[in-house]
Amino acid sequence: VGILDFYHAAGHLWKAARTLFDGRSTAAKDCFNDWRHLLRHGGHQLLLTQLTHLINMDHLCTSAELEALIQVQSYLQTHHEHIRYSRFDKHGYPLGSGMVESACKWLIQQRFKGVGMRWSDDGCKHLLQLRVLMVNQAFDDLFPTVNWAEHLPSPKF
Q: Tell me, yes or no, whether 11 and 80 share the same domain.
A: yes
**Spatial separation of the C-alpha atoms in residues 89 and 144, rounded to whole Å:** 41
**Cα–Cα separations (whole angstroms), residue 68 to 30, 37, 143:** 17, 19, 57
Mean pLDDT over 96-112 rounds to 83
The whole domain housing 133 covers: 98-143
> CB under 8 Å to 19, separation ≥6 — which residues?
64, 65, 68
Instruction: Say what the pLDDT of residue 48 is.
Output: 96
Give the integer Cα–Cα distance in Å for 11 and 88: 19
Any domain includes 157: no
Domain membership flag for residue 121: yes
pLDDT value of position 157: 57
The half-sphere exposure of 32 on its side-chain side, counting CA atoms within 13 A, is 22
Dihedral through CA 119, CA 125, CA 126, CA 128, nearest 10? 90
Could you give phi then psi for residue 139, rounded to 5 degrees?
A: -60, -40
Q: Kindly state whether residue 151 falls inside one of the protein's structural domains.
A: no
Q: Is the pLDDT of residue 97 over 80?
A: yes
Count of structural domains, the chain: 2
136 & 68 share domain: no
| Residue 43: per-residue pLDDT | 95
* Cβ 69 vs Cβ 91: under 8 Å: no
Identify whether residues 27 and 84 lie together within a single domain. yes
The verdict on 62 and 107 lying in the same domain is no
Q: 64 and 45 in one domain?
A: yes
φ/ψ (deg, to 5) at 131: -65, -40
What CA–CA distance (Å, rounded) separates 75 from 71?
A: 6
Do 41 and 81 lie in a common domain? Answer: yes
Query: Tens of pLDDT along 63-96?
Result: 889 999 999 999 999 999 999 999 999 999 989 8
**H or E, element range at 114:** none
